Amino acid sequence: MKVNILCYDEYEEAKVDAFIKKHSLTYDTAYNRAEDHIEYNGIEMSEKLYTYLCLLDYNWHIERVKGAIGGVSDNTV
C-alpha cells in the first residue's frame, strides 16, 4: 500500500524522516510552496505500519494512495 503524508512544520518533518529511515521506506518528496508544507508522496508500507502511523498524534495529514504517486483521479472522459 502507498500513502502520502503532508507535514506542516520542520519538527514534524523530522519525525516523518526518522520514521521513514527506521523502517527503510521508499518515497518521493516535494515542497508545496503554495500551501507551505512538505509532501512525502507514495510511501510504501504495510497495513500494520499504516495503522500504527495513524494512531500517532502528530500534526500530519495522511492519505492512502491508489495507483500513481501523488493522488487518485476518478475522472473518466
Domains of the chain, earliest start first: 2-64 (3.30.70.240)
Q: What is the pTM of this model?
A: 0.70
User: Residue 42 in contact with residue 2, Cβ under 8 Å?
Assistant: yes
**pLDDT tens-digit readout, 26-65:** 888 777 777 777 788 889 999 999 888 888 877 788 888 8
φ, ψ for residue 47, nearest 5 deg? -60, -40
Check residue 75 and give its pLDDT. Answer: 34
φ, ψ for residue 3, nearest 5 deg? -135, 160
